[in-house]
Amino acid sequence: MSIMEHNGGSVIAMAGKDCVAIASDLRLGAGAMTVALNFEKIFPVTDRIYMGLTGLATDIITLRDRFRYLVNMFTIKESRAIEPSTYAHLVSSTLYSRRFGPYFTEPVLAGLERTPSGGFKPYIAGADLIGCLNFAEDFIVAGTASDKLFGVAEGLWEPDLGPEDLFETISQTLLNAVDRDAYSGWGAIVYIITPEKVITRTLKGRMD
């Protein structure tokens, strides 16, 4: 069985109007056996950036700590919060530095980028396990249910959704996709990032 699918799990990010959303399931498995249903895969990077990591659980934890260290060093040196586009390239170069012995994770980023006029612009990005960046303007998916997520998201997503409509869209997409994936599911968590606040909601889903 492939390393990327050993622990299971899926993440999705979506862009809306002046907001972004990122969501994941909560399952941790060891092959077909479920080990835990409280394994969070999305981590805050700054007040306005959240990152989801899918793939091998041990690498998810290692990279979460490593990126926290790198972001702390950036913040101290620059005396400012890192921007999403800068952070995306930090993730990319960190992963590519292990080009021939990679971390087995696929990151998904969601954040609000500051514009020259002082406003905020939705920013989502994804990368493969060696850091090839993917800038999409609609949605990014990763994990064992990625094909299902692509299908449902392509059907449900539309441009310029407000925070509450975006929450409904990303939640329905995630829940219906992971219900058709044996390696994902067992609960879900959603983050909606707006310029004012970040809304966190834990979803009740099928537990089978």
Partner 1 sequence: MPDMSAIVNPQQRQFNPYAENGGTILAIAGADFTVIAGDTRQSEGYSIQTRYAPKVFHLTDRAVLAVNGFAADGNMFVKKVKQRLEWYRHAHAKDMPLRAIARLIQTMLYAQRFFPYYVYNILGGIEEDGTGAVYSFDPVGSYEREACRAAGAAQSLVQPFLDNQIYFKNQTPAQGSSHPAHLPLPDVLSIVIDSFTSATERHIEVGDGLEMYIVLAKGRTLPDAVTTLRPQELPSSAGDGERVFVLKRDLKKD
Note the residues at the interface with partner 1 (CB under 8 A).
147-148, 150-152, 154-156, 172, 175-177, 179-180, 205
Q: From CA 122, how far away is CA 101, in angstroms rounded?
A: 33
In whole angstroms, how close is the CB of 162 to partner 1 at the nearest point?
A: 20
In whole angstroms, how close is the CB of 188 to partner 1 at the nearest point?
A: 10
In terms of CB distance, is 92 or 144 closer to partner 1?
144
Largest CA distance in the chain: 51
In whole angstroms, how close is the CB of 40 to partner 1 at the nearest point?
A: 21
In terms of CB distance, is 54 or 194 closer to partner 1?
54
The token duo for 126 is 């994804």
In terms of CB distance, is 155 or 162 closer to partner 1?
155
In terms of CB distance, is 87 or 167 closer to partner 1?
167
In whole angstroms, how close is the CB of 177 to partner 1 at the nearest point?
A: 5
For residue 102, what are the CA distances in angstroms to 6, 28, 106? 16, 21, 11
In terms of CB distance, is 180 or 201 closer to partner 1?
180
Q: From CA 170, how far away is CA 139, in angstroms rounded?
A: 9
In whole angstroms, how close is the CB of 105 to partner 1 at the nearest point?
A: 22
The token duo for 189 is 């968590």
- ∠ Cα 77 80 85 (to 5°): 100
Query: How many residues make up the chain in this entry?
Result: 208
